[in-house]
Structure 1
């Protein structure tokens, strides 16, 4: 499959480009970026071509991997799908439900496959754990926490990007938490409460369609010594905790690319496709609205 990369930022440089260049079933056709000089440098590093115009790249590939801010991603994903390209998207798909909905409509109209890169869903230990807990059932409550230190590191993190500073933990690490909770506990019927804590920390209470509830704690300003992700489920069989994965982000993206290839070949919707990405976006938008209202709880 000929694949192009949209984006030249830290994630594109550290993960996307190396994976696309070494994947045995992919032909890394080229790179487009909003900074032509960065696209040229990244392309040279991996023996591929830099494209000055995004539509020229879309015309030369079967699929695109996107490593761009979500508001930019949504618009370009629509253009890519309309050009007949399968989509390997980053999370969140967009920062508005309308933006994510446009991606879903474009993918459905063009009948292209889509996979959203929620890292935890593609690492072997955590993916197997999620599948096992979903099959087990009987969970009545859960707590998930994703504590990042992007804006707490002394020397600055390469991921301290403008969109993360603007949108905060809800939109950056919130998708990771939801990608674990939704398959196990069911869809979110409503965001029952949302409150702000210290620094940029946010606390959410979610009411799931299967009758379970969950709480979520999110931050991008945690001290490095306190950062990390954890999920605990409580139910009929006791407590189950999300295992610590041993794989890397590159391992996860390789598996996501494998699953995009399979979805494109078989024509089957992937569990983490653009439609799932839309649902995550809708839930996060509800949480953001609740935080912005200052109400702290839904009516």
Structure 2
């Protein structure tokens, strides 16, 4: 499969480009970015071509991997689908429901495969745990906590990007939490409470379709010593906790590529496709509405 990369930021350089260049099932055909000089530097580093015109890249490939801010991603992903490209998307698909819906509509109309790269879903130990708990059922309640230190005072993280400063933890790490809770506890019927804590910290209470409830705590401003992710669920089988994975982002992206190739070959919808990404966006948009109302 000939694949192009849209984006030249830290995630693209550290994870996407190396994985696309080394994957046996891919021909890494080129890079496009909003900064042409960055696209050329990244392309040269991996022995591929830099494109100045995104439509030229879309015309030369079978698929695209996107490593761009979510609302830039949404517009270009819909455009790529319209050009017949399969989609390897980052989370969140968009920060507006209309943007995410446009991606889903374009992918469905073009009949292209899509996979959204929710890292936890594509790591071996955590992906297997999610599938096992979803199969077990009988869960009564759960809690997810995703604490990052991207914006802590002492942090110099390369991920302190403008869109994360604007949208905060809700939109950056919120998708990770939902990617675990939804398959295990069921779809979210409604967000019943939301409140803000220090910095960009937010707290949510979710009612799930199967009758379970969950709480979610998210932050990108936690002290480094407090950073980390944890999920636990409680039910008829007792308590189960999300294991700590041994792999990293590159391992997860490699598996996501494998599953995009399979979805494109078989024509089957992937559990983490653009439609699932839309559902995550809808839940986060509801939470954002409650948070904004609370501030007023």
Q: What range describes the TM-score normalised by the shorter chain of this pair? A: over 0.9
CA deviations 1:164-191 (Å, max 9, x no partner) are 0000000000000000000000000000
- Give the whole-Å Cα distance in 1 for the aligned partners of 2:207 and 2:21: 42
Contact 2:197 2:203 in 1 (8 A): yes
- Give the whole-Å Cα distance in 1 for the aligned partners of 2:295 and 2:27: 51
* Change in 2 beyond 3 A, CA 1:262/1:201: same
Q: Does 1:254 align with 2:258?
A: no
- Give the whole-Å Cα distance in 2 for the aligned partners of 1:144 and 1:160: 23
TM superposition shift of 1:198: 1.5
Q: Which residue of 2 aligns with 1:187?
A: 187
Q: Which residue of 1 aligns with 2:7?
A: 7
Runs of 4+ aligned residues of structure 1 deviating over 4 Å after TM superposition are none
TM superposition shift of 1:154: 2.0
Superposition pairs of residues 191-270 of structure 1, within 5 angstroms: 191-270=191-270
- Give the whole-Å Cα distance in 1 for the aligned partners of 2:114 and 2:147: 28
Superposition pairs of residues 42-191 of structure 1, within 5 angstroms: 42-152=42-152, 154-191=154-191
- Give the whole-Å Cα distance in 2 for the aligned partners of 1:200 and 1:154: 16
Superposition pairs of residues 275-286 of structure 1, within 5 angstroms: 275-286=275-286
Q: Any stretches of 5+ residues in structure 1 without a counterpart?
A: none
- Give the whole-Å Cα distance in 2 for the aligned partners of 1:232 and 1:202: 18
- Give the whole-Å Cα distance in 1 for the aligned partners of 2:284 and 2:194: 11
SS at match of 2:232: strand
Q: Any stretches of 5+ residues in structure 2 without a counterpart?
A: none
SS at match of 2:278: helix
Which segment drifts farther, 149-158 or 254-263? 149-158
TM superposition shift of 1:199: 1.7
* Change in 2 beyond 3 A, CA 1:184/1:261: same
Q: How many residues align?
A: 296
TM superposition shift of 1:153: 5.4
Contact 1:194 1:203 in 2 (8 A): yes
